[in-house]
Amino acid sequence: MSYSTSLDFSILQNQLTEGEFTTDPQELGRCSGDKWHAVHQPDAVALPHNEESVCKILRFANTHKIPVTPRGAGYGYVGGCVPVRGGIVLSVERMNQVLEIHKTDFVARIQPGVNTKVFQEMVEKENLFYPPDPASRADCSLGGNIATNAGGPRCLKYGVTRDYVLGLSVVLASGELVKLGSRTHKNKTGFDLHRLFVGSEGLLGIVTEATLKLLPLPQDRACLSVGFNDSRAATDAITTIFEAGILPCALEIADEFTIAAAQKRTGSEKLRDCRAHLIVELDGAKSSVQSEIAELEEKL
């Protein structure tokens, strides 16, 4: 697709409010890469405050065949938000409101620019739990998590972002706004269209709002660190855990190479004689976490 870089952006600028559109070189530079090494400068950066502005930007870009690259917090590792064909970077960073946390429906409605860790801490204050835990959660956005279907070690018990998206508002490339899914945990009728957008890296549309499933916050959490003579013994231990009918919220196995790297980095002597290592994280009711930890200490 080709477009004219001499295109007069003022037509679009006039439709938006102050500060929602810029060609300031500093902003172009700020929005040209992610945490990977690829970088490409866009021709303009759009910073919409609301859904209506997102629709206007995409309608304009569609009419003039200008590439648009959505951007969350820019903490991706694969160049997804890098505007490789120039055009407009559409950053949702200013759409960063938590619209609703409903304690009894166990749902939250959020705008895409909300920081993941900030959101998790907000719901935890209400005794609620939003499990997806990408290691970048202190820096990334929920919109970016949805677009990449982000997940971390807790996926073992709780799944990944896709498992918590109940509904989405998405603006399509044409500028049309569509609302998909619902706000009920059990929504079994019809196509699962909202799920199609989860993990689509912004290729199908721009997420402007999401309804997320929440869980009750587990009462307790505990961690077990176990060293082994070899990797085989560590993997056998995983089988032992599952055979005991225990489902940890996270399991992380490290081999000899990884332990050596960690020792070099931290200077710790703790795992000096270990050739494999397992971290087992448990959560749930206090009594069950305590009894499961005791059982695993005995069995592993």
Question: What does the binding site for ligand FAD look like in residue numbers (CB under 6 A)?
Answer: 34-35, 69-77, 80-81, 92, 112, 134-136, 140-141, 143-145, 147-148, 150-152, 201-202, 206-207
Q: Which is nearer to ligand FAD, 99 or 294 (CB)?
A: 99
Residue 239 Cβ vs ligand FAD, minimum distance, rounded to whole Å: 25
| 3-state SS assignment for residue 212 | strand
Which residue, 98 or 293, has its beta carbon nearer to ligand FAD? 98
Q: How far is the CB of 72 from ligand FAD (least distance, A)?
A: 3
Give every CB contact of residue 163 below 8 A, 6+ residues apart in sequence.
132, 213
Q: Which residue is nearest to ligand FAD (CB)?
A: 144
Instruction: Write down the least CB distance from residue 281 to ligand FAD, Å.
Output: 15
| Cβ nearer to ligand FAD, comparing 67 with 284 | 67
Interatomic CA distance for residues 81 and 126, integer angstroms: 33
Which residue in the block uniquely carries the two structure tokens 């569509």? 178
Residue 135 or 261: the one with the smaller Cβ distance to ligand FAD is 135
Q: How far is the CB of 205 from ligand FAD (least distance, A)?
A: 7
- Kindly tell me which of 112 and 181 has the beta carbon lying closer to ligand FAD: 112
Distance CA 295, CA 198 (A): 38
Alpha-carbon Rg for the chain, nearest whole angstrom, is: 23
Q: Give the shortest CB-70-to-ligand FAD separation in angstroms.
A: 4
- Phi/psi zone of residue 286: left (φ > 0), alpha (ψ -120 to 50 degrees), beta? alpha
| Alpha-carbon gap, residue 125 to 140, rounded angstroms | 20
Q: How far is the CB of 35 from ligand FAD (least distance, A)?
A: 4
SS3 20: coil
263-271 CB contacts, 8 Å cutoff, 24+ apart: 271/227
Task: Kindly tell me which of 200 and 288 has the beta carbon lying closer to ligand FAD.
Answer: 200
What distance in Å separates the CA atoms of residue 170 and residue 192, rounded to the nearest whole number?
14
* CA separation, residue 13 to residues 19, 21, 201 (Å): 9, 6, 26
